[in-house]
Amino acid sequence: MPLSKNLFMFKSSRTDTLRGFASDPEGTRLPEKFGPWIGIGVVRIDQQPPFGFRRDAIEAGIAETGYQLWRTKVKS
């Protein structure tokens, strides 16, 4: 069941390439072992997520676990 809300984006302060989506602006359900988490943006309900991610897939992950994680490319 889609959340149909804003998606809040975060980056891990422990792992340079780890990012996460959450349904709350504090990211309270993101995994503590990779925190503290730093807010980096919001995807409003009328916007598409970045990098071609599907909103329904992100929302399904959030509904199941409370967050959705992804990795960025390693910078060389």
Q: What is the DSSP string of 20-48?
A: EEESSTT-TTS-GGG-SEEEEEEE-TTSP
Tens-digit pLDDT profile for residues 58-76? 999 999 999 999 999 876 5
Tens-digit pLDDT profile for residues 25-37? 999 999 999 999 9
The whole-angstrom separation of Cα 15 and Cα 71 is: 9
8 Å CB contact between 19 and 51: no
Q: Report the candidate in 16, 13, 4 with the shortest Cα–Cα distance to residue 47.
A: 4
pTM: 0.88
pLDDT at 37: 98
> Which domains, from first to last, does the chain contain?
7-71 (3.10.510)
